[in-house]
Amino acid sequence: MDIKPIKSEGDYKRALRAIEQLWEVKPDTPESDRLELL
């Protein structure tokens, strides 16, 4: 996973969509780690 700063409205919207998809993941999984980073 590439970690990049949010620099535009598009970046912000993409990050929100990713967070919404990961919101209900189980703890201690790769997906929950990604959610923490976002």
Cβ-proximal residues to 1 (8 Å cutoff; 6+ apart), any chain: 34, 37
Domain span at residue 32 reads 9-38
Give domain status of residue 14, yes or no: yes
Give the whole-angstrom CA distance, residue 14 versus residue 12: 5
What's the pTM? 0.73
Is 4 among the domain residues? no
Nearest to 25 by CA among 12, 14, 13, 38: 38
d(CA 35, CA 28): 11
pLDDT score recorded for residue 17? 95
1 in a domain, yes or no?
A: no
Q: Could you tell me if residue 31 is inside a domain?
A: yes
Q: Note whether residue 21 is domain-resident.
A: yes
DSSP secondary-structure letter at 26?
P
Instruction: Read off the pLDDT of residues 1-28 as tens digits, 9 standing for 90 and up.
Output: 688 899 999 999 999 999 999 999 999 9
22 part of a folded domain: yes
pLDDT grade, residue 38 (50/70/90)? confident
Structure tokens at 6: 């949010």
Whether 3 is in a domain gets the answer no
Q: How many domains does the structure of the chain reveal?
A: 1
